[in-house]
Structure 1
Amino acid sequence: MTTHTTTTSGLAATRERLWAALGERDEEAAAAAVFDACDAGTPVEEVLLDVIGSAQARIGRAWAADRISVAQEHAATAIQDRVIAALARRTPPSPRTTRPAGPGAGGTAPQRVTVACVEGEWHALPARLLAEVLSGRGFLVDYLGAHVPTPHLIAHLHQTGADVVALSSSLPVRLPTAHAAVTAVQAIGLPVIVGGAAFGPDGRYARLLGADGWAPDARAAASLLAGGLRRPEGARTGPDQGLPHLLDQEYTLVTRTRAQLTRDVLEGLEAKVPAMAAYTEEQRERTAEDIAHIVDFLAASLYTDDAELFTGFLTWTAEVLRVRGVPSGALVAALDLLSDAQHDFPRAQTHLDAGRRALAHVPAPQASGPHA
């Protein structure tokens, strides 16, 4: 395991240098900041996680605080991804982590890990960082990147002989898809470790979905895999494992009617929020996107039967809107309209009620803003 020897001030200086380069969209300067730190003796794993990973988290916070645009966030992330690739090319290979070879083969074989984002998940940088950390620790890594459809993942696993699969997801709305991927991988006899913000800060959704392991970060994942993750004997698999609440069909019905719910709520908001009459077409589109996200997170909370998933999203969204000068009244009105549409769904009603209570504690906006 890598020994952490870099001083806090040294890491901080490198982080600020990288951040400044990202702000200027200067890829050469960003790479120089990272390479200089490595050349000065900072372990590559520290650079990956404590510099590049830290900068990526800061990018997300800056977008949420309305200090950078979506385009600026994408540009900075793209630079980070290319810097990681350049760093990987200049880093010498590590001694391979081995496992016992197959029956009758004798000796040992390199341990192979397939790292992928679940289907629909486009936030790939956390998975990319994990892949590089694992490679630096001696694992053979197949990094498949963002948005890997489950059938293609399974076909790849059949062809490559992986020992374990690491799945990443940042958004809880991908949890049903993640569950399908976990189940499919386990069905061919391989263990699955999951990570990313989608699975909760304490890994609660990883346990709910039956994953064989969960890690809060790349270091913890590498340590867990080094210990030899294995499928428990007699482990149960199946999409209904541990989720008896899905028998009420509320999740399925909300998902199936997503487009209609979004349209109905948008039309209802136009009647409830007079200011929407003056919205531009772009503002209307953004409002429709916000409504669709609310429906998606309601569905995810119904899938997990955890209202905190829904309320967490709502309070985060309300804060994002607040710093842009948008009051949360439109969010409350949207919940009221969704509640009217879901009047026959008791679990949905419970989650929507929890959402309204959570929004009551969100402060008023700082200033009047131009969009919803």
Structure 2
Amino acid sequence: MTAGGALRADLEGLPEQLWTAVIGRDEPAAVRLVTAAADAGADGEALLLDVVAGVQHRVGTEWAANRISVAEEHAASAITDRIIAALARHRPAPPPGSPGRGRVTVACVDGEWHALPARLLAELLTLRDWRVDFLGARTPTSRLIAHLHRTNPAAVLLSASIPTHLPTAHQAVTAVQSLGIPVMAGGAAFGPDGRYARLIQADAWAPDARAAADLLERGLPTHRARQRQQIDDLPHLADQEYTFIRRSRTVLVRQSLAVMEQRWPAMRSYSTAQRERTAEDVAHIVDFLATALYVDDAALFTTFITWTADVLTARQVPASSLRLGLDVLAGQLHDHPRALTFLAAAAGALPSTPTRPGPGITA
């Protein structure tokens, strides 16, 4: 959909056709659909954001609802990525000597492998005549800084989809700003209203690619280089709860699994795959709890737990099985009051009916 809520007339029907091709793993047909629309004069931004990005959003929604498998989701996402590449190759080259608007860098924070949102933004900015250096997924902060020393862009646009990457994003924002370069943050990790982007003192935040491009055109504030530490921005980190949980992650997962097995002997009969899945799920809980402590927001953790419960329900796994993991983890963190408060809030948002754990908390 466009910002006005309706799809352009020249693109009507294309999203459904593209969905059929993508979910059917018919990449040639998908590429033909979008390039034919481009040749017919379809607006490039609308084609990219309202059609291609809209289909990718549907892929995620269908996976969460358990209407497509993980394999289908991965295959569809890969095709979407190649559609974007095909559109980029299909785009007419700018006139020789065109100065463009300026140079910017687009990158995902280190650890963030959801590159499609950043890729879409990079392509949109290119359409708007920016010279874009797209560094891709999982960009180490050290390499980002080295790149900026060589290129000195007007701005850096950092993308993160998973909230557990917020501490790394904070480090990246601080490092870039120390060079005097402004940083715009974007992606689901920063919250629906950008609250976490403000918390880590990014210079700007945008809810989507169009808003980011519009904001960049209006101009970001010139950033005065200064040195600061994470504790300066987030004084609650002084209690060391985040640091302890982050450093103790492996031990917490191992101990939690041992206690869960004691409380539910049926876990002893789990297959290797089931045990690995359960360990991964407990690790996700620990990671999101640590991140919630980092930003001092219990809602971040509760949102993750309730989202996980919805995914479980769609897969016919009792959502209340999450309660066991939360209870066991609380037992490991009895000396950490903020963590206990966050765990209790999340547990209170779950169904109250007790149940045995499934083969993996998040199937």
- Secondary structure at 1:240 match in 2: helix
Match of 1:223 among 192, 214, 226: 214
Report the counterpart of residue 234 of structure 2 in structure 1: 243
Following superposition of structure 1 onto structure 2, how do residues 56-95 of structure 1 map, counting pairs within 5 Å? 56-93=56-93
CA change 1:334–1:90 in 2 (3 A) is same
Question: Is residue 2:352 matched to residue 1:349?
Answer: no
Report the counterpart of residue 104 of structure 1 in structure 2: none
- Give CA-to-partner distance per residue, 1:147-183, whole Å, 9 cap, x none: 0000000000101121100000000000000000000
**2:33 & 2:349 partners in 1: Cα distance?**
42
The amino acid that maps onto 1:328 is A
**1:32 & 1:330 partners in 2: Cα distance?**
46
More displaced 10-residue stretch of structure 1: 230-239 or 348-357: 230-239
Report the counterpart of residue 17 of structure 2 in structure 1: 17
**1:218 & 1:292 partners in 2: Cα distance?**
31
CA change 1:29–1:287 in 2 (3 A) is same
The amino acid that maps onto 1:23 is I
**1:24 & 1:158 partners in 2: Cα distance?**
44
Task: Give yes or no for contact 1:22–1:79 (8 Å, CA) kept in 2.
Answer: yes
- Give CA-to-partner distance per residue, 1:112-167, whole Å, 9 cap, x none: 11000000000000000000000001111000000000000000010112110000
Match of 2:300 among 302, 305, 309: 309
Report the counterpart of residue 162 of structure 1 in structure 2: 153
Report the counterpart of residue 287 of structure 1 in structure 2: 278
**1:353 & 1:258 partners in 2: Cα distance?**
19
Match of 2:112 among 113, 118, 121: 121
Q: Which runs of 5+ in 2 are unaligned?
A: none
- TM-score of the superposed pair, with normalisation by structure 1: 0.90
- Give CA-to-partner distance per residue, 1:193-247, whole Å, 9 cap, x none: 0100000000000000000000000000001100111235587743223310000
Q: CA deviation at 1:263?
A: 1.0
Task: Give yes or no for contact 2:113–2:138 (8 Å, CA) kept in 1.
Answer: yes
Report the counterpart of residue 103 of structure 1 in structure 2: none
- Secondary structure at 1:141 match in 2: strand
- Give CA-to-partner distance per residue, 1:300-352, whole Å, 9 cap, x none: 00000000000000001111111111112321011111111111111101100
Match of 1:111 among 74, 82, 102: 102
Task: Give yes or no for contact 1:4–1:46 (8 Å, CA) kept in 2.
Answer: no
Report the counterpart of residue 201 of structure 1 in structure 2: 192
* Aligned residues: CA RMSD: 2.6
Task: Give yes or no for contact 1:327–1:364 (8 Å, CA) kept in 2.
Answer: no
Task: Give yes or no for contact 1:332–1:356 (8 Å, CA) kept in 2.
Answer: yes
**1:364 & 1:49 partners in 2: Cα distance?**
44
Q: CA deviation at 1:23?
A: 1.3
Task: Give yes or no for contact 2:184–2:205 (8 Å, CA) kept in 1.
Answer: yes
**1:302 & 1:276 partners in 2: Cα distance?**
30
Report the counterpart of residue 101 of structure 1 in structure 2: none
Task: Give yes or no for contact 1:193–1:212 (8 Å, CA) kept in 2.
Answer: yes
The amino acid that maps onto 1:230 is P
Q: CA deviation at 1:36?
A: 2.1
Following superposition of structure 1 onto structure 2, how do residues 166-185 of structure 1 map, counting pairs within 5 Å? 166-185=157-176
The amino acid that maps onto 2:79 is I
**1:115 & 1:26 partners in 2: Cα distance?**
30
- Secondary structure at 1:359 match in 2: coil
- Secondary structure at 2:156 match in 1: strand
Following superposition of structure 1 onto structure 2, how do residues 131-170 of structure 1 map, counting pairs within 5 Å? 131-170=122-161
More displaced 10-residue stretch of structure 1: 120-129 or 229-238: 229-238
Match of 1:300 among 271, 286, 291: 291
**2:224 & 2:172 partners in 1: Cα distance?**
20
**1:43 & 1:262 partners in 2: Cα distance?**
50
**1:153 & 1:185 partners in 2: Cα distance?**
8
**1:134 & 1:12 partners in 2: Cα distance?**
24
CA change 1:159–1:278 in 2 (3 A) is same
The number of equivalent residue pairs is: 358
**2:140 & 2:26 partners in 1: Cα distance?**
34
More displaced 10-residue stretch of structure 1: 227-236 or 21-30: 227-236
The amino acid that maps onto 1:199 is F
**2:342 & 2:168 partners in 1: Cα distance?**
21
- Secondary structure at 2:233 match in 1: coil
CA change 1:14–1:239 in 2 (3 A) is same
More displaced 10-residue stretch of structure 1: 301-310 or 283-292: 283-292
Match of 2:246 among 251, 255, 259: 255
Following superposition of structure 1 onto structure 2, how do residues 317-336 of structure 1 map, counting pairs within 5 Å? 317-336=308-327
- Identical-pair percentage: 56
Q: CA deviation at 1:75?
A: 1.3
Q: CA deviation at 1:369?
A: 7.9
- Secondary structure at 2:13 match in 1: helix
